[in-house]
Amino acid sequence: MTQTNLYDLSGRCALVTGGARGIGLEIARLLQSFGAEVILADVNETQAAAAAQDLGPGASGVALDVTDPVAVEALAAQLGDRVAILVNNAGISRAAPTDQTRDEDWRAVVSVNLDGVFWCCRAFGTRMAARGRGTIVNIGSMSGQIVIQDTVVTAYNAAKAGVHMLSKSLACEWAQSGVRVNAVAPAFIETDMTGTYPPKTAQKWRDLTPMGRYGQPTEVAAAVHFLASDAASYITGTVLNVDGGYTSW
Ligand code: NDP
Residues with Cβ within 6 A of ligand 1?
A: 17-18, 20-24, 42-44, 47, 64-67, 89-92, 112, 116, 139, 141, 186, 188-189, 191-194
Domain of 73 in residue numbering reads as: 13-242
3 assigned to some structural domain: no
Calpha distance 221→223 (Å, rounded): 5
C-alpha 65 to ligand 1 mean position (Å): 12
DSSP helix/strand/coil, 36: coil
Does pLDDT of 1 surpass 70?
A: no
CB 173 within 8 A of CB 229: no
CA of 183 to the centre of ligand 1 (A): 15
Domain assignment present for 223: yes
Task: Establish if 154 belongs to a structural domain.
Answer: yes
Is 193's pLDDT higher than 90?
A: no
Three-state secondary structure call for residue 63? strand
H or E element, residue 41: strand 37-42
Task: Read off the pLDDT of each residue in 39-63 and give the average, rounded to a whole number.
Answer: 98
What does the pLDDT read at residue 195?
79
CA of 1 to the centre of ligand 1 (A): 43
User: What's the whole-number mean pLDDT along residues 208-235?
Assistant: 98
User: Does 226 reside within a domain?
Assistant: yes
Q: What is the pLDDT of residue 2?
A: 58
- State in Å: Cα 91 to ligand 1 middle: 4
Average of per-residue pLDDT across 59-79: 98
Q: Catalytic: 156? A: yes
Collapsing DSSP to helix, strand or coil, 70 comes out as helix
Please pick, among 156, 197, 214, 246, the residue that the annotation labels catalytic.
156
Average pLDDT value for residue range 188-194: 89
Which pLDDT belongs to residue 56?
98
Q: What's the pLDDT band for 169 if we cut at 50, 70, 90?
A: very high
Q: The pTM is what?
A: 0.98
Please state the domain count of the chain. Answer: 1
Query: Whole-angstrom Cα distance, residue 188 to residue 227?
Result: 20
pLDDT in tens, 100-155: 999 999 999 999 999 999 999 999 999 999 999 999 999 999 999 999 999 999 99
Residue 248 belongs to a domain:
no
Nearest to 27 by CA among 242, 223, 237: 223
**Around Cβ 50, how many Cβ atoms within 10 Å?**
15
The string of pLDDT tens digits covering residues 26-45 is 999 999 999 999 999 999 99
Whether residue 186 is contained in a domain is answered as yes
Q: Mean pLDDT across the chain, nearest whole number?
A: 97
The CATH number assigned to the domain holding 150 equals: 3.40.50.720
- Quick one: pLDDT at residue 118? 99
Residue nearest to atom 47 of ligand 1 (CA): 44
> Is 40 inside any structural domain?
yes
Q: Is the pLDDT of residue 194 over 90?
A: no
Predicted confidence (pLDDT) at residue 94 exceeds the cutoff of 70: yes
Residue 1 belongs to some domain of the structure? no
Q: How confident is the model at residue 184, as a pLDDT?
A: 99
Mutate to test the pocket of ligand 1, among 21, 214, 224 (most ligand atoms within 8 A of CB): 21
Q: Considering the chain, what percentage of its residues have pLDDT values greater than 70?
A: 99
Contact 203, 188 (CB under 8 A): no
